[in-house]
Structure 1
Amino acid sequence: MTGLELEKLSNLTLKEEVYRATLPSGLEVSFCPKPGFQKRYACYSTRFGSIDNEFTGSGGESLRVPDGIAHFLEHTLFETPRGNASDLFALNGASNNASTSFTQTTYLFAASDRFWDNLGLLIDFVENPCFQDDKVEKERGIIEQEIKGYDDNPGWVNYRGLLGNLFSEHPVRIDIAGTVETIAEIDTATLQSCYDRFYHPSNMHLFVVGDLDRQELFEFVAERSRAGEALEGELERKYPVEPAEVCKAESEVEMDVAAAKFILGFKETGIPLAGEELVRRELLSDLGLDLLFGSSSDLFRELYEKQLVHDGLWSGYDTLGGVAYAMVGGDTSSPDEFPGRLLDGIESRLDEALSRDNFERKK
């Protein structure tokens, strides 16, 4: 493979291998071989999520874009001169999807046949935007309905309410899709501006999994993907300083539910970690939450036996843009009693739950 140096990463525990290379354009490409697997998968991601609403332009100036624009951009990219990309994938026998998170946007497909056609389609529609006023207006209406649909989802309202209570300044408090008011401010020029900054090859990653010839894959991507000129000016994301204290201690929303939904959160600020250190922190935090709240934990068993919680407790931990939060939630028929019992249980059982014996058993 002329001029392209591959790095091999191996994990003996998982028995997995990944080959990685950075193209001259700056695009990072990774391949995980799966001999004997019929389906092949590809994910094309950009490090552009909903919290990236303030950043530096090509001249170093600070730009502030409407909330929800990363998600809006994801929607509009599917409209191509040949038709909707999802329809084109279907014609090729592939299933496809896309998603926007707080920190990234990902486009993906899975296919058993016509893999190279589908990979070419994925690269082409992501790398060649076609922003048109009429298409933008069409997507605006679709996203408005999506936002309103989430407003009627008790679980989502509960989760969004938690983040709004925890954070007063950081954009994680804002819905990934934005609001009806903020997406009304989005136009083709704003979309193009964000695309030019965040969809540069140096800010993107293509990950492929399947039974494929390694050399053929990397050569295909190198030839098919755009060459890419150097990004003008350094891309710097700007996040506000988030105070250590929570914005609001608690809140309650009246909705039509069979059982009350409860969610408790813990906030962290000033998280400087990156790379492996950050992954380690996230994995250990998720493990600790599972030890404390999982279905085999003493705390869950106690709450369940007292009929304070229904089927189970769920928990999670996330870090992004210099902040982090841990959360635990569940359904309860005793919304007045349950929060206090849960907090008491955390305080009394934390050391026991995180003991070395429990850790060795769970890891």
Structure 2
Amino acid sequence: MMELIDYPKYNEKLFVQTLSNGLTVYLQPKPGFNKTTAVLGVNYGSIDSEFMLNGEKVIQPAGIAHFLEHKMFDKKDYDVFELFNKTGARSNAFTSFTKTNYLFSTAESVKANLDILLDFVQIPYFTQAKVEREKGIIDQEINMYQNDPDNQAYFKMIASLYPESVLANDIAGDIQTVAQITLEDVELAYRTFYRPENMSLFITGKLDPNEVMGWIEENQRQKSTQDPIRLQRLLTLPVASKETILHTEMDVSRPKITLGLRGRDPVLTGRAGLKYEIAISVMFDLFLSENSVEYDKLYHDEIIDDSFSWEFENERGFHFAVINGDTDKPLELVKRLKEIIAAIPAKIGDLQTEFQLQKNELFGNYIEMMDSEEAISGQFDGFIGEPVTIYDEVEILKSLTLADVLDVAKRFLSQATIQEVMIQNPNR
């Protein structure tokens, strides 16, 4: 029986059902839309390489979640992308720190594409030869990213924030760890994490909930049941001993500065965690967006340009902010950024007008995203204790006060640790 979550303010409905095998399905019909987007998510990412399985500790090579994502597309006698192409769908997949998502978007043959999606993820085909072949492909991908200064700055920063931990590894691992992956590793990772109860299916766009749920139930009845397991994820995150500046030499036209702030304050899950994330985002926008006084000063002092940006990650078990940009004055930029960050708690209470303007701008961005099934599916999260949609985010934003932002800012900044990465060209 499907449960209905109603969003009357937006004239939207979310249908939810957990099937007998544990797979949770979320269906959001969008009348008037011509396309349908489906995302099959696995609650499994790069940080899940260490875990307790049925009482025994397992340590797998870094990059195995990303490796497994690649392997899912390579079947015995066909390539999954070719199947999607034949049905007129665009397909993709990605692995993050905590999730692996498989998705398609189509304007036709929804049932056929849905069967392809569910079957290729839930019916694996692994061989020793294919595992060895994939290593060379991923090595090429890793080499490509190692030559990308922005990618290197990002992951070196995270490694500085979380030394000697799984977060210190690139999501794809490195050439040495990928070489260690065996067929047995892949099969064990799949059996452990690619289980219906550890997955969610979100579909939005042109769809009839009863019809689509019927298709999914029919597909899942054809899959064999799995024996229960006892799984405990292990995540140990030592604290960096002191603030450091990591200097790296690469072929860049201008120095790149990346400043990382590791949050050490506890963050709740579900909508409470989402409120925290939105509050932090508003805080950074008030001081580092193009509309802020601080940004304007940095720009007119020729310390930053339009490469300057920031982002905030709030994931299962950790959260951090990264600020980066190209600059001809790297030391000055670091100095000014630290001064801005240190002054936030004292200044933020005087920014009521700016706060309201920022809220209005974010609200407009959300309204725009509501017209895109890709954006709607990208904002959905079914792995944080309760389903969170773009409509939940808007309601949280609307009720957010400047006092809320100040409270979260103080909690985050009072305990955050800072690390720096500087990438320069040795020949310039």
Could you tell me the TM-score, scaled by structure 2's length? 0.80
Alpha-carbon contact 2:162-2:237 (below 8 Å) kept: no
Change (3 A) 1:13 1:351: farther
Determine the structure 1 residue equivalent to 2:244.
249
Q: Is structure 2 residue 100 aligned with structure 1 residue 114?
A: no
Compute the displacement of 1:215 (Å).
Answer: 0.4
Size of the alignment, in residue pairs? 357
Compute the displacement of 1:329 (Å).
Answer: 1.2
Determine the structure 1 residue equivalent to 2:83.
88
Query: SS at the partner of 2:260?
Result: strand
Alpha-carbon contact 1:168-1:247 (below 8 Å) kept: no
Determine the structure 2 residue equivalent to 1:233.
229
Change (3 A) 1:358 1:113: same
Change (3 A) 1:173 1:348: same
My pick for the range that moved more, 39-48 or 258-267, is: 258-267
Determine the structure 2 residue equivalent to 1:45.
41
- Post-superposition Cα deviations, 1:143-165, rounded to whole Å, max 9, x if no partner, equal 00101110000000111111111
Which of 153, 161, 166 is 1:171 aligned to? 166
Change (3 A) 1:270 1:60: farther
Superposed, 1:211-230 pairs within 5 Å as: 211-225=206-220, 227=223, 229=225
Which of 153, 161, 183 is 2:156 aligned to? 161
Between the aligned partners of 1:231 and 1:205, the Cα distance in structure 2 is 19
Q: Is structure 2 residue 55 aligned with structure 1 residue 60?
A: yes
Alpha-carbon contact 1:270-1:322 (below 8 Å) kept: no
Change (3 A) 1:99 1:246: farther
Alpha-carbon contact 1:45-1:106 (below 8 Å) kept: yes
Query: SS at the partner of 2:231?
Result: coil
Change (3 A) 1:157 1:14: farther
Determine the structure 2 residue equivalent to 1:28.
24
Alpha-carbon contact 1:48-1:103 (below 8 Å) kept: yes
Q: Is structure 2 residue 10 aligned with structure 1 residue 17?
A: no
Alpha-carbon contact 1:201-1:228 (below 8 Å) kept: no
Between the aligned partners of 2:22 and 2:63, the Cα distance in structure 1 is 27
Q: Is structure 2 residue 129 aligned with structure 1 residue 138?
A: no
Between the aligned partners of 1:337 and 1:270, the Cα distance in structure 2 is 29
My pick for the range that moved more, 314-323 or 257-266, is: 314-323
Between the aligned partners of 1:195 and 1:247, the Cα distance in structure 2 is 38
Q: Which amino acid aligns with 1:56?
A: M
Determine the structure 1 residue equivalent to 2:364.
none
Between the aligned partners of 2:282 and 2:11, the Cα distance in structure 1 is 22
Could you tell me the TM-score, scaled by structure 1's length? 0.93
Determine the structure 2 residue equivalent to 1:335.
330
Q: Is structure 2 residue 287 aligned with structure 1 residue 299?
A: no
Between the aligned partners of 1:51 and 1:144, the Cα distance in structure 2 is 20
Change (3 A) 1:228 1:11: farther
- Post-superposition Cα deviations, 1:11-66, rounded to whole Å, max 9, x if no partner, equal 34554321111001100100111112111111101001000011122x22111111
Compute the displacement of 1:352 (Å).
Answer: 3.2
Compute the displacement of 1:322 (Å).
Answer: 2.1
Determine the structure 1 residue equivalent to 2:376.
none
Query: SS at the partner of 1:273?
Result: coil
Compute the displacement of 1:119 (Å).
Answer: 0.6
Query: SS at the partner of 1:309?
Result: coil
RMSD: 1.8
Alpha-carbon contact 1:164-1:247 (below 8 Å) kept: no
Between the aligned partners of 1:174 and 1:257, the Cα distance in structure 2 is 23
Identity among equivalent pairs (%): 34
My pick for the range that moved more, 276-285 or 119-128, is: 276-285
Alpha-carbon contact 1:167-1:246 (below 8 Å) kept: no
Between the aligned partners of 1:93 and 1:26, the Cα distance in structure 2 is 30
Deviant stretches of 4+, over 6 Å: none
Change (3 A) 1:37 1:344: same
Compute the displacement of 1:71 (Å).
Answer: 0.2
- Post-superposition Cα deviations, 1:141-193, rounded to whole Å, max 9, x if no partner, equal 00001011100000001111111111124312210000111111112211111
Between the aligned partners of 1:147 and 1:278, the Cα distance in structure 2 is 33
Which of 68, 71, 83 is 1:73 aligned to? 68
Alpha-carbon contact 1:165-1:246 (below 8 Å) kept: no
Would you tell me which structure has more helix in proportion to its own residues? Answer: 2
My pick for the range that moved more, 76-85 or 28-37, is: 76-85
My pick for the range that moved more, 227-236 or 155-164, is: 227-236
Residue ranges of structure 2 left out of the alignment (5+ in a row): 360-428
Determine the structure 2 residue equivalent to 1:346.
341
Which of 280, 284, 287 is 1:289 aligned to? 284
Between the aligned partners of 1:246 and 1:161, the Cα distance in structure 2 is 16
